[in-house]
A and B are shown apart, each in its own frame.
Chain A
Amino acid sequence: MGLLDKQFDDGNIVLTSVEGVLNWARLCSLWQMSFGLACCAIEMMAASASHNDIMRFGVLPRPSPRQCDVMIVAGTVTLKMATRVKRLYEQMAEPRYVVSMGSCSNCGGPYWEHGYHVLKGVDRVVPVDVYVPGCPPRPEALLEGWMRLQEKVRDFSLVKKNNGTA
């Protein structure tokens, strides 16, 4: 069943559920916190540029965490940065989502053994909704991750428990 349950020929009347239309509106305007940590940020910028144009998903990069729905952790999270990432996450308004982009923020990446300064996975400080693998992931992979996140938002319910969000 799609978003619109029934469409009438005239009168501009459509039938749907409140949740359906709210979730549809939210998933089509997920605003992204604009910050990058390492080389993955270059691919994230490529996803924003004209070839891949992530803005067609309604993604607007915002400079303030208070205006954002999604944090893309794009790159190596050093221990020094991890405290800042956590603070930024705490400043975002709920419901909030985290996309972990690339091997470094998934699990430490190439720094897993000898990186004394690298956090071995951003999920040690903030809850992650979607992991995008790759080193770095291509922009298409980030778009795929974004669509997975949209699926998650589409299933969100105000009344049901266990929505899986933080």
Chain B
Amino acid sequence: MIMEHKEIFDHLTALFPETGLEFDEDVPCIVVPPAAIRDVSLQVRDDEMLQFDFLMCLSGVDNADGTLGVVYHLHSVPLGHKLTLKVIVPADNPHLQSVERVWRTADWHEREAYDLVGMVFDGHRDLRRILNPYDWEGHPLRKDYEVPEFYNGMKVPY
């Protein structure tokens, strides 16, 4: 049975009454606290009524208001419905739980979000940079990022 976002939200709040899940009407999605994303992910993957077995995309966002966001787009292959989860973390302490052990797809996606936006996924087994060189400094897709003058002795600006 295909479920709408609001139905899924009601279903999840019944299962996690103390967690503080929020529903965003604007673009339908469920905002999950950073410390709960792993438990919620396991639930939506293994729940018989939800069966979100496919993480389509995991994106990192700099909201430019002192917070960073992670957006999870989920799809259920057996049931055919979709779900968007969001986690918002403060930019000065950007820690949230990793879902790398829930969906293997999240492995490289979380590394990319860490590399470019700089949130730290606690519990990821191999959280290294994936695009930039390992000795790169900073996270280039942050809004306040400034291009370095030199990298390994090579001048960077034009």
Query: Considering only CB atoms, which chain B residue lies closest to A107 in the complex?
Result: B158
Cβ of B140 within 8 Å of any chain A Cβ, yes or no, is: yes
B155 touches A117 (CB 8 A): no
Instruction: Identify which of B132, B140, B145 contacts A80 (C-beta below 8 A).
Output: B132
A108 touches B133 (CB 8 A): no
Interface centre among A82, A113, A116, A120 (most CB of B within 10 A): A116
Cβ of B66 within 8 Å of any chain A Cβ, yes or no, is: no
CB distance from B132 to the nearest CB of A (A): 7
Cβ of A125 within 8 Å of any chain B Cβ, yes or no, is: yes
Cβ of B152 within 8 Å of any chain A Cβ, yes or no, is: yes
A117 touches B152 (CB 8 A): no
Cβ of B64 within 8 Å of any chain A Cβ, yes or no, is: no
Report B118-146 CB contacts with A as 1/0, cut-off 8 Å: 00000000000000110000001000010
Cβ of A83 within 8 Å of any chain B Cβ, yes or no, is: yes
Given the interface pairs A113-B158, A116-B147, A117-B140, the reply to whether A83 lies near B152 with Cβ below 8 Å is yes
State A120–B140 Cα separation when bound (angstroms). 17
Main secondary structure of the interface of B (DSSP, over half): loop
CB distance from A65 to the nearest CB of B (A): 20
A79 touches B158 (CB 8 A): no
CB distance from A134 to the nearest CB of B (A): 19
A124 touches B132 (CB 8 A): no
Residues of A within 8 A of B132 (CB): 80, 117
Query: Considering only CB atoms, which chain B residue lies closest to A112 in the complex?
Result: B158
Residues of B within 8 A of A47 (CB): none
State A79–B157 Cα separation when bound (angstroms). 12
Cβ of B151 within 8 Å of any chain A Cβ, yes or no, is: yes
Instruction: Identify which of A108, A112, A124 contacts B154 (C-beta below 8 A).
Output: A124
Residues of A within 8 A of B148 (CB): 116
Residues of B within 8 A of A108 (CB): 158
Query: Considering only CB atoms, which chain B residue lies closest to A118 in the complex?
Result: B156
State A119–B156 Cα separation when bound (angstroms). 6
Query: Considering only CB atoms, which chain B residue lies closest to A81 in the complex?
Result: B133
Query: Considering only CB atoms, which chain A residue lies closest to B134 in the complex?
Result: A80
Given contacts A113-B158, A116-B156, A117-B140, 18 further A-B contacts (CB under 8 A): A79-B133, A79-B152, A79-B156, A80-B133, A82-B154, A83-B152, A107-B158, A108-B158, A112-B158, A116-B140, A116-B148, A117-B132, A119-B156, A120-B155, A120-B156, A120-B158, A124-B155, A125-B154
Please report B residues at the A interface, Cβ cutoff 8 Å.
132-133, 140, 145, 147-148, 151-152, 154-158
Can you list 26 contacts pairing A with B, beta carbon distance less than 8 Å? A79-B133, A79-B151, A79-B152, A79-B154, A79-B156, A80-B133, A83-B152, A107-B158, A108-B158, A112-B158, A113-B158, A116-B140, A116-B145, A116-B147, A116-B148, A117-B132, A117-B140, A119-B154, A119-B156, A120-B155, A120-B156, A120-B157, A120-B158, A124-B154, A124-B155, A125-B154
The 3 A-B residue pairs whose C-beta atoms are closest, nearest first, are A116-B147, A80-B133, A112-B158
